[in-house]
Structures are given as C-alpha cells and as structure tokens.
C-alpha cells in the first residue's frame, strides 16, 4: 500500500489522496500510534473531506511503524476528563461540541466509501474499535489484540459495544471485554475480527490488491450495498429503500457496462451512473 513503507513520523494523523484511494495514517509510532485530544478535530475534518470527494472509491486506514496499529485514546488523560471524557461522551452531542473519539469512530463506520484497516501491528483499547469500524481488516502475523477497558475500571461507550457484538457476536465480545486477555492474530482471524492475516512483508501487497478490487467496483452500488448491510447488521434496515436501490441498479449504465464487459471478457469501466 502506498505510504506504508515511508519513514514513520510523529504528530497528528496524515491524509493523502492517491488516485481513487484515500490513505489515512496515524503518526505516533513511539507511543503505539495513540490518539490525542488534538487529533480528534483533524480526524473529523479528514473523514469529512474524504466523504465529500466524489472521485474517491476506497479509504485505507493504517498506522506508522511496525509494532502497533493503534493503542486508542491517551489513557493518561482519562481521569482528568471525567464525565466529559472524549472516550465516553455520547456521539449524539450537538454539532458545536468538541469532537469525541466515539463520534469520530462512528463517522468512520458510516463513511460512504468502503474502508480497509491495514493493521501494521498489534492493537489495543480504542484502537480495536477504530479498526472494527472499517469494512475490512488485514492484520499481520505476530500481532495481538488487548482490550483493557474492564481491567482498568472503564465502562465502554455504547456504539463501541454495539460494533463488537454486531461484528464478532456476544460470546467473543464478552471474551474480549470482560477478560481483557491478549488474543493472538490467528484467533482474531478465526473469530472474524480480521478479514485476512498475512506476513508483515506482504501487508502492503495484500491491502493494495483489496483496495484495487474495491475501487474497481461500481461506486453507487458498492456504497448503497455497504449502507444497507450496516443497517441490516444493526436490525434497523429499510426494506423499501433496499428495493428502490435494487430497482435503480437494474436501470443503471453500470449494470449494462458490467454485463457487456463480462461478454467481452474485459475489465469493466464503471462510472457510478
């Protein structure tokens, strides 16, 4: 994946646009790519910019360095934040309020584009939910996951718990939250936390292949399907809206192009029309 082999920096997240791909990279490898309060407005703005760019087809989220993808929010600030903690405040707060970690993660989850998390190392705390908000997660052999919330006396926020249960099932959610044990990457693949597991040297190629495949799909159908699949998982889907989008696709230029390309045995060129 472009950018993953660049020398790691130290500072706020960096957003790069490369063709139809957006790459959002965490930049604090010396601190396991933890997220600071000052990063939240930038992440919010970066995700909004990706959402508003019609030329983009896929977002890749990754970290810097080789040790960790993300350790979540800076734990040293939790007791100072109290009931207004960024990790605990409801994401339904007024738009004028300061951005919260869970609000930013919700924003990532509902991004119209398909999203890939390239876990370049182990993942901890809020970083585990950041990855879960992506549609696909590619991890590296030798990495692990630790969710220490319960062990340190932190009750997790609502949508983070929802994502765990929706994506991993309640038994796995209880194991990860209530036991707080270190879970190796092979078990994360088996429980569905990881979509794929590769040697570290193959992470870039694996993510590139997945991103190119997603970017080559018809954008309107891909984005509509993502939205409806998320709604189905939450139990709040709109059957009539799904039917409307199905019928819209039957009359689309992209469907005609896809069928024609299949007959001609060539790659399709989708436009979203």
Nearest residue to 136 via CA among 115, 121, 108, 122: 115
How do the pLDDT tens digits run along the chain, 273 residues long?
444 545 446 789 999 999 999 999 999 999 999 999 999 999 999 999 999 999 999 999 999 999 999 999 987 776 555 544 434 344 444 446 788 999 999 999 999 999 999 999 999 999 999 999 999 999 999 999 999 999 999 999 999 999 999 999 999 999 999 999 999 999 999 999 999 999 999 999 999 999 999 999 999 999 999 999 999 998 888 999 999 999 999 999 989 988 989 998 989 899 888
Beta bridge partners of 14: 25
Cα-based distances in Å from 252 to 115, 224, 246:
24, 13, 10
Which CATH code for domain 11-215?
Answer: 3.90.226.10
Rounded to two decimals, what is the model's pTM?
Answer: 0.89
Q: Where in the chain is the domain with CATH 3.90.226.10?
A: 11-215
What does residue 243 show for φ and ψ, rounded to 5 degrees?
-65, -40
What would the two tokens of residue 90 be? 């409801």
Residue 191's nearest CA partner among 211, 207, 173 is: 173
Q: What tokens does 100 get? A: 């919260």
Which residues have CB under 8 Å from 129's CB, separation 6+?
72, 102, 105, 160, 163, 164
Residue 236 has what pLDDT? Answer: 86
Q: What Cα–Cα distance (Å) separates residue 94 from each residue in 51, 97, 98, 157, 260? A: 20, 6, 9, 17, 48
């Amino acid at each position: 994946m472009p950018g993953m082999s660049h020398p790691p920096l130290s500072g706020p997240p960096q957003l790069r646009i490369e063709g139809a791909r957006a790459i959002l990279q965490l930049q604090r490898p010396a601190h396991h790519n933890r997220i600071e309060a000052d990063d939240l407005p930038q992440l919010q703005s970066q995700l909004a910019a990706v959402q508003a760019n019609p030329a983009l087809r896929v977002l890749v989220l990754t970290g810097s360095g080789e040790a960790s993808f993300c350790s979540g929010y800076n734990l040293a600030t939790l007791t100072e934040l109290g009931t207004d903690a960024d990790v605990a405040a409801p994401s339904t707060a007024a738009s004028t309020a300061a951005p919260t970690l869970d609000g930013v993660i919700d924003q990532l989850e509902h991004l119209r584009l398909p999203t890939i998390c390239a876990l370049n190392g182990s993942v901890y705390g809020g970083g585990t939910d950041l990855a879960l908000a992506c549609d696909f997660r590619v991890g590296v052999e030798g990495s692990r996951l630790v969710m220490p919330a319960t062990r340190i006396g932190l009750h997790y926020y609502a949508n983070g718990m929802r994502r765990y249960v929706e994506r991993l099932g309640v038994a796995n959610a209880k194991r990860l939250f209530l036991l707080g044990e270190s879970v190796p990457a092979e078990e994360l693949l088996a429980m569905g936390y990881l979509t794929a597991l590769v040697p570290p040297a193959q992470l870039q190629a694996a993510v590139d292949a997945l991103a190119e495949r997603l970017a080559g799909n018809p954008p309107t159908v891909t984005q509509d399907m993502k939205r409806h699949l998320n709604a189905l998982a939450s139990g709040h889907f709109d059957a009539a809206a799904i039917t409307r989008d199905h019928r819209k696709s039957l009359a689309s230029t992209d469907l005609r192009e896809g069928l024609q390309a299949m007959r001609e045995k060539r790659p399709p060129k989708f436009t979203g029309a």
